[in-house]
C-alpha cells in the first residue's frame, strides 16, 4: 500500500510526523453517482513502527518509537518557541513565538507574522494553530499542548480553546509584555480559564528569564540574542 506522509522540516533532518494511505477513487463522484459507496479519506495517523513510509528518513527518525526515545523536555519545547521568536524579531515582527507538541512530537513552530501577513491576528499562537491544523488536517488538536514565549492574549487563549489544546505552557507573563511597552489586553490566561470554565492546564514562567531577553532586545531595537 502506498502511503502519504507529512514531514516537519526539510533536508536530512526532517521528521515524519503523520501518515495515511494514499487517496484512491474520487469520493465526490462516487457520492453523486450513488453506485459506489462514498469513500471517506482516512485521517492522518501517528506513524507507527511497522508502517513503511515512502519518504526518505534518516536512521535516527525512522519511526515514532525512536523519536520518542530521544524525547525532548518542556524546556526544549520552549526553547524552540523562543528560537522562533528570535527569527521573527529578525524579520521585523513582534517578539513572540510558539510551538505545538503532540505525542511528544513537534507539530508546528511559528512566530508572530502580523507584518508579513498584514494581519493583526497573526500572533504566534494563532500561526502555530493554523500550521498544526493544516498538518493534521483536523480542526481540533486534542491531546496537544502549546508552548508560548508569552502568556497568550485573550484572543490567542480563545483560539487555543477552539483548537482544543489541553495545555498551555508559557514563559513571560502578559504583565511582562505590558511593562516592555507592548500593548496588551491584560487579562491573564488564568482569568480567561476561570471565566470560560475552559479547563485548560496552565503552566507559567518556564524559561521566563530567557524569554524576557526578547522584550529587552525589541525595546533596544536589536534583533539577535545577546551573545
Please list the residues that pair with 97 across neighbouring strands: 111
CB of 154 to Zn ion, least distance (A): 8
For residue 128, state whether it binds Zn ion (rule: CB under 5 A). no
**Active-site entry in 29, 125, 140, 151:** 125
Per-residue binder mask for Zn ion (CB under 5 A), 24-53, x = binder:
------------------------------
Window of 33-41, 135-143, 146-154, 201-209 that interacts with Zn ion by CB under 5 A: 146-154
Q: What is the CA radius of gyration of the chain?
A: 19
Can residue 156 be called a binding residue for Zn ion (CB under 5 A)? Answer: yes
Binding status of residue 123 toward Zn ion by CB under 5 A: yes
Please tell me whether residue 177 binds Zn ion under the rule CB under 5 A: no
125 classed as catalytic: yes
CB 5 within 8 A of CB 19: yes
DSSP strands (E only) in the chain = 3-8, 15-21, 45-46, 97-102, 105-111, 144-150, 167-172, 201-203
Furthest C-alpha separation in the chain: 67
Query: Which three three-digit cell numbers place residue 116?
Result: 508579513
Return residues touching Zn ion (CB under 5 A).
123, 153, 156
Known catalytic residues are 125
Amino acid at each position: 500500500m502506498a502511503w502519504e506522509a507529512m514531514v516537519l522540516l526539510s533536508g536530512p533532518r526532517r521528521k515524519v510526523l503523520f501518515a495515511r494511505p494514499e487517496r484512491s477513487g474520487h469520493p465526490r463522484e462516487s457520492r453523486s453517482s450513488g453506485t459506489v459507496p462514498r469513500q471517506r479519506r482516512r485521517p492522518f495517523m501517528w506513524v507507527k513502527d511497522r508502517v513503511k513510509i515512502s519518504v526518505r528518513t534518516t536512521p535516527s527518525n525512522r519511526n515514532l518509537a525512536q523519536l520518542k526515545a530521544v524525547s525532548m523536555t518542556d524546556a526544549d519545547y520552549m526553547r524552540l518557541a523562543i528560537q522562533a521568536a528570535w527569527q521573527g524579531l529578525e524579520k521585523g515582527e513582534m517578539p513572540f513565538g510558539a510551538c505545538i507538541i503532540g505525542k511528544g512530537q513537534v507539530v508546528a513552530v511559528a512566530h508572530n507574522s502580523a507584518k508579513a501577513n498584514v494581519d493583526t491576528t497573526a500572533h504566534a499562537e494563532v500561526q502555530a494553530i493554523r500550521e498544526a491544523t493544516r498538518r493534521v488536517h483536523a480542526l481540533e488538536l486534542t491531546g496537544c499542548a502549546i508552548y508560548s514565549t508569552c502568556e497568550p492574549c485573550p484572543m490567542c487563549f480563545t483560539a487555543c480553546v477552539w483548537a482544543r489544546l489541553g495545555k498551555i505552557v508559557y514563559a513571560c507573563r502578559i504583565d511582562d509584555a505590558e511593562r516592555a511597552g507592548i500593548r496588551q489586553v491584560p487579562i491573564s490566561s488564568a482569568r480567561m480559564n476561570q471565566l470560560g470554565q475552559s479547563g485548560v492546564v496552565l503552566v507559567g514562567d518556564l524559561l521566563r528569564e530567557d524569554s524576557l531577553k526578547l522584550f529587552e532586545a525589541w525595546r533596544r531595537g536589536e534583533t539577535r540574542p545577546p551573545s
